[in-house]
Structure 1
Amino acid sequence: MGGGLYFLTHVTSVGAVLLYGGASYAADAPLAGRGGVLSGAVLEILLALGIVGTGVVIHRLVRERSAVTASGYLALRTLEASVILAGVVTLLPLVARPATTTAPGLEPGVEAALRLVHDWTFLIGPGLIVPFHTVLLACHLWRSRRTPRFIPVLGLVGGPVVGAMNLAVMLGFSDVLPLAAVPVFLWEIALAVWLIARGSDGGGS
């Protein structure tokens, strides 16, 4: 289950960005229409649920060896999901009102502000919270030797790299560098494959 949830988070996150159109760091790009944004919002809700799900699974796997790591990882994953959901809520008023298909008719300045809030939640949630729970879990896996050594190495490298990149973006020193996210992406893929190969209990203690 844990491995499948990790894959779910990747599929839904990429799908949401594609459906939103220019909603992430591209203020001058047109946002997708009602259908695209609503579909992207549904994917981000599934993304948030998948993120919390991975936290629950990892909590169960590591709590006997490290209650601090288990609780910390679950808390950080839940925080990440909460920030993502806050971003979803800021985009929905741009294209829809609840229980109607009537266009919201917001002023351009309001629309720009809501899109800016979404961009910041995208940066803070996946961008600056992920590095902390990545390093936390990778340190535990390195010490416990429960996984092949290259898996925690990917996390220990990828977490700080993606965190530094997003911090630079936050401070205005850099644009988004997709290659900087490759190590943390490989970390989650490798962990997902290992969880699936060993079973939902991670191969025991």
Structure 2
Amino acid sequence: MTAATHTPHTTPTAGRVIPRRRMEPNRRISLTAGILYVLTFVSIPTLGLSKPVKDHVGTFILGAGSDTGVLWGAASEVIVGIAGIGTAVVLYPIAKRVSQTAALGFVTARLLETCLIFVGVISLLTIITLRTDVAGTAGANSAALVTTGHGLVAVYTWTFLLSQSLMPVACDLLLGYVLYRSGLVPRILPIVAFVGAPLLLASDIAVFFGAYPNVSPVAALAALPVAAFELSLGLWLIVKGFEPTPLTSTNAPSTPFPDGLPVA
């Protein structure tokens, strides 16, 4: 065998064959999940980017201002939706060892969240289509366009409440349960989720019944603990990964632990 011929996962160096180091599977899962969690925060500028549409949809749909920011905002929400599904799918092989129900619930909640996000994105993109393809044509009814624009903004506002505000309550409670029971991360992180999720739910109910808008200082304050949990979790998984537990050992079972069995 010559020096140029080597088995997979090896690298020839100065006539020697040095095995390549492969990332441990659980570390790969934690790193990927952490990156995806951090990626979901690209939606933060969306509130500002979509402001011209939400605040002045009448003038916007008739041609005032630029639609570039709105397009970037819509694209960022698509990224958030895909990354959100990714967090649940990537963590599923680990989460199902703790609770099959919680793991499936987390995936389902993320899928529903993303579907609702996409409905909101479609409403924004429809406004842009009406602005570019209809508003400037001969015989276009400006009043009807403005009314349609207000209706589409209402769709976006309500889907934003249900998707990016309500669904994280379910997601964080389900994942928090898995993390707390398993000890995969410091337990202070899921405790923050247990505190933040009910607070955000109470705020969502208040918004639903018109106590204050879903984009307001009170709503932002109520969402802060949940945001802190998800960002801290993402950063922890990137930097540290999972804590050593029986769940992450090479001999860990692939089926859920029986009820009552201490996981960590």
What is the distance in 2 between the residues matched to 1:29 and 1:145? 52
TM-score between the two structures when normalised by the length of structure 2 = 0.69
Partner of 1:70: 103
The CA RMSD over aligned residues, in Å, is 2.3
Deviation at 1:69, TM superposition (A): 1.2
User: 5+ unaligned residues in a row in structure 1: which ranges?
Assistant: none
Cα pair distance change 1:134/1:29, threshold 3 Å: farther
The one-letter code matched in structure 1 to 2:187 is: R
What is the distance in 2 between the residues matched to 1:137 and 1:27? 39
Aligned length: 199
Give % identity: 32
What is the distance in 1 between the residues matched to 2:125 and 2:88? 27
The one-letter code matched in structure 1 to 2:175 is: L
Partner of 1:142: 180
Match of 1:158, SS?
helix
Deviation sequence 1:26-75 (CA, Å, 0-9, x none): 57897663212222111111111111111112212211221111111011
Deviation at 1:126, TM superposition (A): 1.1
Match of 1:107, SS?
helix
Partner of 1:84: 117
Please tell me whether residue 195 in structure 1 is matched to residue 228 in structure 2: no
Q: Is the 8 A contact 1:123 1:166 kept in 2?
A: yes
Cα pair distance change 1:102/1:159, threshold 3 Å: same
Partner of 1:170: 208
What is the distance in 1 between the residues matched to 2:93 and 2:134? 44
TM-score between the two structures when normalised by the length of structure 1 = 0.87
40, 49, 58: which is aligned to 1:19? 49
22, 36, 40: which is aligned to 1:9? 40
Structure showing greater radius of gyration is 2
Match of 2:129, SS?
coil
Of residues 153-162 and 30-39 in structure 1, the stretch that sits farther from structure 2 once superposed is 30-39
Q: Which runs of 4+ in 1 moved over 6 A?
A: 27-30
